[in-house]
Amino acid sequence: MKGSKSHELEADVPAAELWKIYGTLRFVELVHELLPQSYKEEFVRIDDGNRVKEAAVIEGDILNLGFTAYVTRFEIVEKGPGASVIRSTVEYEYDDGRPELEAAASTAPLAAAAERLVQYVKDQNTAQQASA
């Protein structure tokens, strides 16, 4: 069985500023600081032009639950000069005999990370303006 779930967060931060974090390894460091994870993933797509990043889980709790595939996608969509949308998506697969896994697939951790990363970018911009 295949499925997907998405979450969108409107941010009053320019898309280019968000991508400076999402498009780099700093993103991984910050997410691991903010949200401890019990799985390993590898990035399978990084598209700087479209501001899209995808990672596939390769081992850990998510797969141990019974998912046969679990991919996260982050898209940073420009909504104007000072606004953007962070679209976080999980795509997953599991055996037909495990319908309870549908409820286990969640964008909640991705949504929480998005909110915290927006605040991180704002804090960094405030600190830079204060020191200028």
- Residue 9 sits at φ, ψ, to 5 deg, of -125, 120
The question of whether 53 is a catalytic residue gets the answer yes
- Please pick, among 2, 40, 53, 122, the residue that the annotation labels catalytic: 53
Of 114, 105, 54, give the one whose Cα is nearest residue 85. Answer: 114
Strand ranges (DSSP E) for 1-132?
2-11, 39-47, 52-60, 67-80, 83-94
Nearest to 54, CA basis, from 69, 32, 66: 69
CA atoms of 113 and 115, how far apart (whole Å): 5
Query: What burial class does residue 38 get, using C-beta atoms within 10 Å of its C-beta: 0-12 exposed, 13-18 middle, 19+ buried?
Result: exposed
Q: Which residues are catalytic?
A: 53
